[in-house]
Structure 1
Amino acid sequence: MTRRLKHPILLSLLFGLLLLINTAHARFNPQPEHEQALRDVISALQQNHYSGKQLDPELSSNIFDRFFKDLDPSRIYFYEEDIANFEPVRYTLGLEIYEGKSQTGFDIYNVFHKRNLDRIDFLLSLLSDDQHIFDFNNDHELETDRSEAPWINSSEAMNALWYKRLKNALISLKLSDQTLGEAKQTLIKRYESQRARLEQTNHEDVFERFANAIAHEFDPHSQYLSPRNQENFQINMSLSLEGIGAVLQGEDEYTKIVRLVPAGPADKSGQLRPSDLIVGVGQGEEGPIEDVVGWRLDDVVKLIRGPQSSTVRLQIIPADSIDRTARRVVTIIRDKVRLEEQAAQKKVLEIDRNNQTFKVGVIEIPAFYIDFAAMQAGDPEYKSTTRDVERLIAQLKQEDDIDALIIDLRNNGGGSLREANELTGLFITRGPTVQIRDANGRVDILGDFDPKVAWSGPLTVMVNRLSASASEIFAGAIQDYNRGIIVGGRTFGKGTVQTLLPLDHGQLKLTHAKFYRISGESTQNKGVVPDIEFPTLFDESQIGESALEGALPWDTVNPVRYGRFPSLTPYISELSHLHLVRSELNPDFIFMRRHVERSKEQRDQTKVPLNISRVREQRDEIEQWQITTENQRRMAKGEPPIKVLSELDDLLPKDNQGRIINPESESALIESAEITIDFIDLNLRHTAQNNGRVNNPRQ
């Protein structure tokens, strides 16, 4: 018995010695206020989080792994020995957290901080050594995906990896028309800036990172905010106030665009998309581009924000770029997002079919909005999604005599749950629309109790990967009721509800409920699957709930009773066939399919050559492929070919707000109208066969 107890005691003594060694040069330590804050965080998560997770040994182990992964996702800082040194606390870390102790988290961060500084010093020493010659003509390669790689076990291997990373960075800058000297100076400035920002880290920053590793183990939307970030939450996470109108997040060394605020400056520019990476920021029309690779998110946000009507320039790596060395500069005029510019808008498409012209109304809904202040003040003209859409439908019926209606929810990231519920009510007489299950298992059902229907004719709903939350509730309800056809791409899969809990020290955002369709299926993770799917340039492995590590799973609750419209199932197969026949000949759909295939090929290639000639050849080949593919599309549409990709900026049409009209997006809209007319035609034939009469689709 005595012999069995010696092993854990020995481990404890060894770990204690390691902690003494680590803390001998420790820069950061928990502050008195952190003890209660940590207790509050874990207590709130255990009691209120939807997942119901408890701080057991398994969760302790997962938090242990999560913190290392959050700090070093590419495994380029920590050594194998570092991980082994902390291994004895893997299953006891949870007990420390429960008691409000965060010393282990600080000890891990102190090692990370030192390793990070060591790497920066290593790079700066190489760049500052005028005698060192970089060989850009060998056949070495850099593995870019190290998320599952083993931890590095020696300083020699670590230096070799970072030397390759440095060469890759130099090659990218040289191919951006910088001389070697200029590229070295750019990187010296970048790494010195990273060092300065690393030196500015304080105890509060470290505690926040550790607390977030705990919160993220419950789900990716749960987050701890320190007092400073609590005050600046809206500014840090959304640049809609005197900025560009974009939601950003940090990803490795980059700042990533998560979504664009509808009708915001970035959205209006038509040149930015979710998953674009911001690598540089310039002030004014001609100010120098400041390299922001490796910057903290809040520092990048401060640089992008500025006075209204001023100019900011962003250097980005486009999300849809096949060439990952590509850089583009986007100029944006800072402005505030105005509610009226986010309002639903209408237009009419005319589709010729069998010597007959059909009018298809289109209502684009950028967000589910409501002016609560005006409503509470008793303003009879307050704006809301449902009120605006109802008014637009009336105009389309009376002024345009439309045959069918399309609700365009592409890129709609959600908004007011109330509006999603009431908008559904415009298309059904009455009934449930969504279920909400809380952490205690209680299920609330929201529904429409107003029998008034604004449109009872043929209906199509367009969605894509950026249609989320309230958009998914509406699209899911329309699909469950068989009220309309859902077309486009699989939606985002954001089916969780967050709430903000104030703490004595900071604030906690946690997931406390989940949305379910009336069919009982969750919108979480899987999203809404269209009846007819279009090719999409959005990479589902990078964008969407399923791309977030630790996202809550899809599941079901009991369905509720509701009346369905006649089944659309008999039509879907024929509609899909007619769509495929058209899309096989559609130049824009052909272009999208080719782009999707090529992008997948590029994503599968995780090794980057460090031979500048090979990299240049790859870049030139990719650019030529893009030009050739674009010209094949243009010639098929009777448009003049281009010689360089930059010509497209002047050739693509723009809407009345100056936004570039994306040809793939417009083609998808027209195809949706064609599918809607197909449905009218099939339905008329089916009705004629069964009833011997034909119904007028104009209702």
Structure 2
Amino acid sequence: MKIKNMPIAFRARSIALGLLVFLPLAGIGTSLSANIEGAYTAVTPTIEQARANILISRQLQFTHFRDQAINDELADEVFDDYLDYLDGQRVYLTQEDIRDFQPLKAEMAAALRTGQLQPGFEIYNRVQQRIIERMDYALGLLDDGLDQFDFSSDDEILLDRSETEWEPDQEALDKLWNKRIRNAVLGQRLNGSGDDEIIEVLTRRYESQRKRVSQMRSEDAFQAYMNAFTGTWDPHTNYFSPRNSENFNINMSLSLEGIGAVLQSDNEYTKVVRLVPGGPAARQGQLGPADRIVSVKQEDDDTPTNVIGWRLDEVVDLIRGPRGSTVTLEVVPANASDETVTRSIDIKRDKVKLEEQSASSEVIELERNGEKYLIGVIDIPTFYADFQAMQQGDPNYKSTTRDVRRLLEKLRNEQNVDGLVVDLRNNGGGALHEANDLVGLFIDQGPTVQIRSSDNQVQVLSDQDPSVAWDGPMVVLVNRMSASASEIFAGAIQDYGRGLVVGSQTFGKGTVQAVRSLNHGQLKITQSKFYRVSGGSTQHRGVIPDIEIPSRVDTTRIGEDALERALPWDQIEAVPHTRYFDFSGMIDELRDRHASRFDESPEFRLLQQEIDFLREQRKTTMVSLNEDQRRDYQQQLEHRQLTIANARREIKGEEPFESFEAMEEYEEQQAAEAHGNEDDELDFIVREGGHIMADMLELDRRMASILPVDTVTAKAE
């Protein structure tokens, strides 16, 4: 089936810490390497890695924002996270293996403090051997042909095994893998593949995974182990190997030349976090957040390369390529019913051009009770600045603030707009100083954001320019993908009472990282947190809109509060700031009017149908291994998707699709023409932002030019 669409006091822990690296590297725990036979060559730690382990331990204890000790309790978390990384779906190890690991777990705290890497390497080697055994078992089943499998039973398979126990022994694991193979075969059959093609595709997949394991190096084990360690502080603290340190931010490397996507590891998969505005993937329109990459194919290759189980940097290297060439990604869509449901996406590689990320404007005209309102809309895809041109003294260098100031002058002086909508949906952030300067376009002057470091010192960034580019009313549109600098801007506008925030709860990325060099690689470590001028942090909670609009995005999978061990929300003292308008007297009426419009809006009803459909799919925990039942289930899904697609076409005055296949063909054609899938949600939500603006003007004409009313000094509530 294809789917389209704290203060930390620096204190001495051990003055002899630096000498402990010379202890024997294999001196902890009972060695498990003896269980590893010729199929896999066990990897071993190096002296350089042991020294790096000690440096990482020091940095985490003495400079991270979160103050915690390396003790047995933390070691238990490292152990669990490490196993989650290596076998998150509980499909390789057994309970027997877990029992074998217990002596290593008991000594892990001391080992992490002193650079004794053997516990992590022993576990890593055992898992790699188990993966090879599973691949051999799967390939053996395929060699025997598909006729051996029963597709008429009432068997089911659990889609997400991350919360289950490991199987008790190899026999139970064999039964599980028999189900996994049947599920994979069914998925291919429902995609229209014949049995011979299915055997070829699955054989290639499992052989690729097996080959990848046989090529594992010491650095693979060390990086996995250290990231399980650093991740117990927070999800944004990471270790980068020397190879990755050449471009430590792998997430952003694809935005330079490639497809323009931010990626991260997610168990065996590489997952899309977000798309870079103006990038090839965003323009193409089919790849989306939370999609998981299964394979990568170059345009001159006949067969794709399966990348399940690959390191993130290796997947990045495959996706990168010459500008103008095409790469094909096979992905499991975020809304897929199970991991066997994939789609192929062709993306032409290119550079992300600054002008394609630039702020832009338009004017929408609304007629309300015989009166016309002109609403200016400024779309800001990211917070950008041409640093090179700035350093060279170019007086015309591009930046978010400079571009928005120019757009505001045109909207105010030439187009005479009555109100303003600033669209920050899908804006993942960018240059912090641009967020600070952009706030300054809408206030006289004053603080914009507070930054609290690990030593409890608070720095306040402020707008020092008393000039105001827009003093009229405004609405800021946000969604779950609005993060970091976007949250700083939206939070400041909300705290100052300069406008209303409309949309869905933002991402909640309110931490600041620094990169520190080690003797071997680098450590990206969280050292600060952002706080609003009202004192509340943007971390974890993000910005809560004044008027909420539901979103398709699954907040259980995307957002800071969906990440393990994300730093919590907290608050500090507010800093004095001006309050321009008190919306409390009209907010209830604004919400009522908004709700009435949405009750009558076909676009909103359609959006709600999509949200309900996706929510139902997410609730599906088991799928049938009965082929007839599975086909019926697929037909139901396809019917729901076709109904929603045709409802959208009806709203646009277009002819409905006659079949699901016709819908797929149309969407593939749209993608091939680089149009992407049109997103009607964007248009009607922008329009709704304009209506909310018109409501504000109707309810209080004083908003035509907002002036300061008081100064806020109290602590945030």
Q: Cα distance, 1:228 vs. partner? A: 1.2
CA distance in 2 between counterparts of 1:578 and 1:422 reads 33
CA distance in 2 between counterparts of 1:306 and 1:23 reads 37
Q: Is this contact kept in 2: 1:429–1:452, CA < 8 A?
A: yes
Aligned to 2:579: 564
Aligned to 1:677: 694
**Pair 1:252-2:264 in alignment:** no
Q: Is this contact kept in 2: 1:235–1:241, CA < 8 A?
A: no
**Pair 1:661-2:698 in alignment:** no
Aligned to 1:509: 524
CA distance in 2 between counterparts of 1:121 and 1:188 reads 10
Matches within 5 A, 1:106-145: 106-130=121-145, 133-145=148-160
CA distance in 2 between counterparts of 1:569 and 1:186 reads 60
Task: Decide whether aligned partners of structure 1 residues 649 and 585 sit closer, same or farther in structure 2, where only a CA change above 3 A counts.
Answer: farther
Aligned to 1:7: none
- CA RMSD, 1 decimal: 2.4
Aligned to 2:210: 195
Provide structure 1 residue ranges, at least 5 long, that are not aligned to the other structure. 1-13, 688-693
Mean CA deviation greater in 103-112 or 597-606: 597-606
Q: Is this contact kept in 1: 2:209–2:306, CA < 8 A?
A: no
Q: Is this contact kept in 2: 1:242–1:305, CA < 8 A?
A: yes
Q: Is this contact kept in 2: 1:406–1:461, CA < 8 A?
A: yes
**Pair 1:341-2:356 in alignment:** yes
Q: Cα distance, 1:280 vs. partner? A: 3.1
Aligned to 2:285: 270
Q: Is this contact kept in 2: 1:18–1:85, CA < 8 A?
A: no
Q: Is this contact kept in 1: 2:84–2:267, CA < 8 A?
A: no
Q: 2:663 aligns with which of 647, 664, 673?
A: 647
**Pair 1:380-2:395 in alignment:** yes
Q: Cα distance, 1:391 vs. partner? A: 0.6
Task: Decide whether aligned partners of structure 1 residues 97 and 357 sit closer, same or farther in structure 2, where only a CA change above 3 A counts.
Answer: same
Matches within 5 A, 1:5-16: 16=29
Mean CA deviation greater in 405-414 or 374-383: 374-383
**Pair 1:525-2:545 in alignment:** no
Q: Which amino acid aligns with 1:540?
A: T
Q: Which has the higher contact order (CA 8 A, sep 6+)?
A: 2
**Pair 1:420-2:421 in alignment:** no
Q: 2:320 aligns with which of 305, 327, 333?
A: 305
SS at match of 1:584: helix
Q: Is this contact kept in 2: 1:126–1:132, CA < 8 A?
A: no
Aligned to 2:24: none
Task: Decide whether aligned partners of structure 1 residues 226 and 465 sit closer, same or farther in structure 2, where only a CA change above 3 A counts.
Answer: same
Q: Cα distance, 1:598 vs. partner? A: 1.9
CA distance in 2 between counterparts of 1:635 and 1:194 reads 46
Aligned to 2:463: 448
Q: Which amino acid aligns with 2:571?
A: T
Mean CA deviation greater in 90-99 or 15-24: 15-24
Q: Cα distance, 1:330 vs. partner? A: 2.4
CA distance in 2 between counterparts of 1:637 and 1:697 reads 37
Q: Which amino acid aligns with 1:119?
A: R
Q: Cα distance, 1:232 vs. partner? A: 4.2
Q: Cα distance, 1:447 vs. partner? A: 1.1
Q: Is this contact kept in 1: 2:328–2:347, CA < 8 A?
A: yes
CA distance in 2 between counterparts of 1:285 and 1:22 reads 42
CA distance in 1 between counterparts of 2:193 and 2:674 reads 36
Q: Which amino acid aligns with 1:127?
A: L
Task: Decide whether aligned partners of structure 1 residues 507 and 323 sit closer, same or farther in structure 2, where only a CA change above 3 A counts.
Answer: closer
SS at match of 2:381: coil
CA distance in 1 between counterparts of 2:55 and 2:653 reads 65
Q: Cα distance, 1:696 vs. partner? A: 7.3
Q: Is this contact kept in 1: 2:375–2:417, CA < 8 A?
A: yes
**Pair 1:582-2:586 in alignment:** no
Q: Is this contact kept in 2: 1:322–1:598, CA < 8 A?
A: no
**Pair 1:399-2:409 in alignment:** no
Q: Which amino acid aligns with 1:144?
A: L
**Pair 1:215-2:259 in alignment:** no
CA distance in 2 between counterparts of 1:234 and 1:287 reads 31
Q: Which amino acid aligns with 1:681?
A: E
CA distance in 1 between counterparts of 2:190 and 2:481 reads 33
Q: Is this contact kept in 2: 1:370–1:384, CA < 8 A?
A: yes
Q: Cα distance, 1:657 vs. partner? A: 8.6
Task: Decide whether aligned partners of structure 1 residues 232 and 416 sit closer, same or farther in structure 2, where only a CA change above 3 A counts.
Answer: closer
CA distance in 2 between counterparts of 1:659 and 1:219 reads 36
Q: Is this contact kept in 1: 2:29–2:104, CA < 8 A?
A: no
* CA shift digits 1:618-664 (9 cap, x unpaired): 1111111121233334435544222235538758999x994543111
**Pair 1:97-2:112 in alignment:** yes
**Pair 1:231-2:258 in alignment:** no
Q: Cα distance, 1:283 vs. partner? A: 2.7
CA distance in 1 between counterparts of 2:526 and 2:446 reads 27
CA distance in 2 between counterparts of 1:637 and 1:378 reads 48
Q: Which amino acid aligns with 1:348?
A: V
TM-score by length of 2: 0.90
SS at match of 1:444: strand
Task: Decide whether aligned partners of structure 1 residues 678 and 505 sit closer, same or farther in structure 2, where only a CA change above 3 A counts.
Answer: same
CA distance in 2 between counterparts of 1:561 and 1:550 reads 32
Q: 1:56 aligns with which of 71, 95, 104?
A: 71
Q: Which amino acid aligns with 1:668?
A: I
Matches within 5 A, 1:320-331: 320-321=335-336, 326-331=341-346
SS at match of 1:166: helix
Task: Decide whether aligned partners of structure 1 residues 225 and 598 sit closer, same or farther in structure 2, where only a CA change above 3 A counts.
Answer: same
Mean CA deviation greater in 89-98 or 641-650: 641-650
Q: Cα distance, 1:571 vs. partner? A: 1.5
Aligned to 1:8: none
**Pair 1:29-2:57 in alignment:** no
CA distance in 2 between counterparts of 1:644 and 1:249 reads 36
Aligned to 1:11: none
**Poorly superposed stretches of 4+, deviation over 6 Å:** 23-26, 651-654
Task: Decide whether aligned partners of structure 1 residues 417 and 236 sit closer, same or farther in structure 2, where only a CA change above 3 A counts.
Answer: closer
SS at match of 2:154: coil
CA distance in 2 between counterparts of 1:302 and 1:168 reads 30
Q: Which amino acid aligns with 2:614?
A: S
Aligned to 2:219: 204
SS at match of 2:577: coil
Q: Is this contact kept in 2: 1:236–1:298, CA < 8 A?
A: no
Task: Decide whether aligned partners of structure 1 residues 199 and 189 sit closer, same or farther in structure 2, where only a CA change above 3 A counts.
Answer: same
Aligned to 1:9: none
Aligned to 1:167: 182
SS at match of 1:563: strand
Provide structure 2 residue ranges, at least 5 long, that are not aligned to the other structure. 1-26, 708-717
**Pair 1:497-2:519 in alignment:** no
Q: Cα distance, 1:165 vs. partner? A: 0.9
* CA shift digits 1:209-230 (9 cap, x unpaired): 1111101111111110111121
Aligned to 1:690: none
Q: 2:84 aligns with which of 53, 58, 69?
A: 69
Q: Is this contact kept in 1: 2:533–2:575, CA < 8 A?
A: yes
Q: Is this contact kept in 2: 1:320–1:537, CA < 8 A?
A: no
CA distance in 1 between counterparts of 2:466 and 2:251 reads 43
**Pair 1:39-2:54 in alignment:** yes
* CA shift digits 1:312-352 (9 cap, x unpaired): 22233332456765433322221111112211111111111
Aligned to 1:593: 608
Mean CA deviation greater in 132-141 or 640-649: 640-649
Q: Is this contact kept in 1: 2:29–2:119, CA < 8 A?
A: no
SS at match of 1:433: strand
